[in-house]
Amino acid sequence: MEDICFLVQGSAEEPYKVTFKKNGSNILAYCTCPAGMHGQHCKHRFRILDGRDDGIVSDNKDEVMIVKSWLRGTDVEAALHEVVEKERVLEKVKQDLSAAKKKLARTMKE
């Protein structure tokens, strides 16, 4: 089993510890932030899985791409793609809603 740990500066004074473990084709990810500790959506883990190193304060930023390479063909990759797609859909719906509200406001003025 391979492990890679990062220290990520979040909103707390002390950086969070974000750990990825690769065991065959399975990837596990843990974060010491409150959301991560409760098994909820944790932006620190997701950023690293997305290949982003912003917020990392440990000296191993180069290992982000190693973790990202572990994704290929895993259930984590499929689930991450689903989240990204849903976020795109949500953004489009927000834009459409904003346009509809503006149209409603214009209609009430005329």
Query: Rg (Cα) of the chain, in Å, rounded?
Result: 19
pTM: 0.80
Quick: pLDDT tens for 4-48. 999 999 988 999 999 999 988 889 999 999 999 998 989 999 999
Residue 110 has pLDDT above 90, yes or no: no
What is the CB neighbour count within 10 angstroms for residue 46?
15
Q: How far apart are CA 5 and CA 88, in angstroms?
A: 29
Q: What is the pLDDT of residue 24?
A: 84
Quick: pLDDT tens for 41-73. 899 999 999 999 999 999 999 999 999 999 999
Residue 6: CB partners within 8 Å, gap ≥ 6?
17, 18, 19, 48, 56, 58, 60, 63, 64
Q: What is the pLDDT of residue 66?
A: 95
Residue 85: CB partners within 8 Å, gap ≥ 6?
none
The tokens describing 52, both together, are 């982003």
